[in-house]
Structures are given as structure tokens and as C-alpha cells.
């Protein structure tokens, strides 16, 4: 083991001692936060665990690295985020989410970045966002260009996180038209 690896191991042991939590428990804290950006996670660890910048930075780096090496853990984090999003009055919307994700997974490989209140779907760039907007509908944000807006496919103002938005109130609305729009956004994000 190199001197650098030994120093990292020592720092991570010290963090566990300071926080009273194992690395697995700290990983669970990170996943439950719904945060995905390094700086946001680091700030959350500083604030919530009372550790310094250096420790929070090292912990974030170590946990994110091991997540990228273990896709099953990343998938579990995504499922936990979806479970956290679809609770209370929004729980009845989970079947819509599951139907959307089942169709999108057929398109090919992509990355899911859990956020607070929605999931960001990415290839080289974000192509879609999925999450409950209210207790009665899921919104699908799509990033694509050159598509004529319709009453169902609403064009968003310039500067929005997505170019278009589709409101989905039932599983039956996860239809060929919606999937075709999602496929177009997916293809344009390659």
C-alpha cells in the first residue's frame, strides 16, 4: 500500500470515528440526500456531520468513487430516491414513473442522476427529467430541438432546464407518442 493510500485509509477511519458512522452508513446518508454533485454532497456532509472541508471532500470523493465501481449500489440509490419522491399524496403516481422507466430502459444505456424531487436521465447530456409535479401528475421534461409544440408537448421558455414538458396523469398516457418524443430526446443526447 502506497503512502497516499495509507493516508486516505487513515483519514477515512478518522472520519468514521468523528461521525460515529461506518462508511456504509455514510454512503446511505449521501444517497438519501438525493444530491449528486460533488460540491453539494461535500457541503451537506460539512453541515450535517459537522466535519471540516478536507474530511468532507475526501469522504465525498471516496464514496462517489466506490459507487461508480458498484452499479448495483448506484441502482439502489436511484430506487431509494424514487421511493422518497413518490410518498404521501404522490404515492399513487409511482406506477406512471415505473411505466416510463420501463419504456426508457428499452432505448439503451443511460445514466440516472437522482435529484431532489425528480430523476435526471443523461447520456452525454441530459435528455429527460421525470418527477411528480403535483399529487395528480408526473412531468416529463425533454431536451430536443426542432419539434413542433402541441397542446400535449408544451414548449418551455428559453433558459429552462428542458426544452419541452409533457404532463402525464395516468399509465395509459405512457403511449407511443410520448415514447417517440423521449426516443428523439435520447438520440439527440448521444
96 and 63 belong to one structural domain: no
pLDDT in tens, 9-31: 889 899 999 999 988 888 888 88
pTM greater than the 0.75 cutoff: no
36 and 109 belong to one structural domain: no
31 and 89 belong to one structural domain: no
Q: Is 4 left (phi over 0), alpha (psi -120 to 50) or beta?
A: alpha
55 and 31 belong to one structural domain: yes
92 and 176 belong to one structural domain: yes
Residue of higher predicted confidence among 10 and 184: 184
Q: How confident is the model at residue 69 (pLDDT cuts 50, 70, 90)?
A: very low
Number of neighbouring beta carbons within 10 Å of residue 161: 12
Q: Which of these ranges, 14-18, 164-168, 171-175, has the smallest mean pLDDT? A: 14-18
Where is the domain boundary, 12, 43, 69?
Answer: 69
Number of neighbouring beta carbons within 10 Å of residue 88: 7
CA distances (Å), 160 to each of 77, 85, 120, 121, 125, in order? Answer: 26, 22, 14, 16, 15
Task: With H, G, I as helix, E, B as strand and everything else as coil, classify residue 131.
Answer: strand
Among residues 48, 9, 11, the alpha carbon closest in space to that of 29 is found at 48
Set of cell numbers at residue 38: 460533488
Residue 163 lies in a domain: yes
21 and 52 belong to one structural domain: yes
* Residue-number span of the structural domain to which 15 is assigned: 3-69
Residue 77 lies in a domain: no
Amino acid at each position: 500500500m502506497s503512502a497516499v493510500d495509507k493516508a486516505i485509509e487513515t483519514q477515512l477511519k478518522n472520519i468514521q470515528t468523528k461521525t460515529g458512522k461506518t462508511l456504509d452508513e455514510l454512503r446511505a446518508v449521501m444517497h438519501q440526500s438525493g444530491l449528486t454533485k460533488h460540491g453539494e454532497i461535500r457541503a451537506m456532509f460539512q453541515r450535517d456531520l459537522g466535519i471540516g472541508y478536507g474530511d468532507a471532500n475526501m469522504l465525498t470523493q471516496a464514496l462517489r468513487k466506490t459507487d461508480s465501481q458498484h452499479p448495483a449500489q448506484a441502482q439502489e440509490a436511484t430506487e431509494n430516491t424514487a421511493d422518497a419522491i413518490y410518498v404521501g399524496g404522490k404515492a399513487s403516481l409511482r406506477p406512471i414513473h415505473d411505466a416510463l422507466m420501463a419504456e426508457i430502459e428499452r432505448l439503451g444505456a443511460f445514466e440516472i442522476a437522482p435529484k431532489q424531487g425528480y430523476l435526471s436521465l443523461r447520456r452525454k447530456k441530459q435528455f429527460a427529467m421525470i418527477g411528480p409535479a403535483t399529487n395528480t401528475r408526473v412531468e416529463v421534461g425533454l431536451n430536443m430541438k426542432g419539434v413542433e409544440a402541441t397542446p400535449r408537448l408544451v414548449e418551455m421558455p428559453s433558459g429552462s432546464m428542458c426544452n419541452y414538458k409533457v404532463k402525464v396523469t395516468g399509465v395509459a398516457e405512457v403511449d407511443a407518442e410520448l415514447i417517440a418524443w423521449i426516443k428523439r430526446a435520447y438520440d439527440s443526447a448521444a
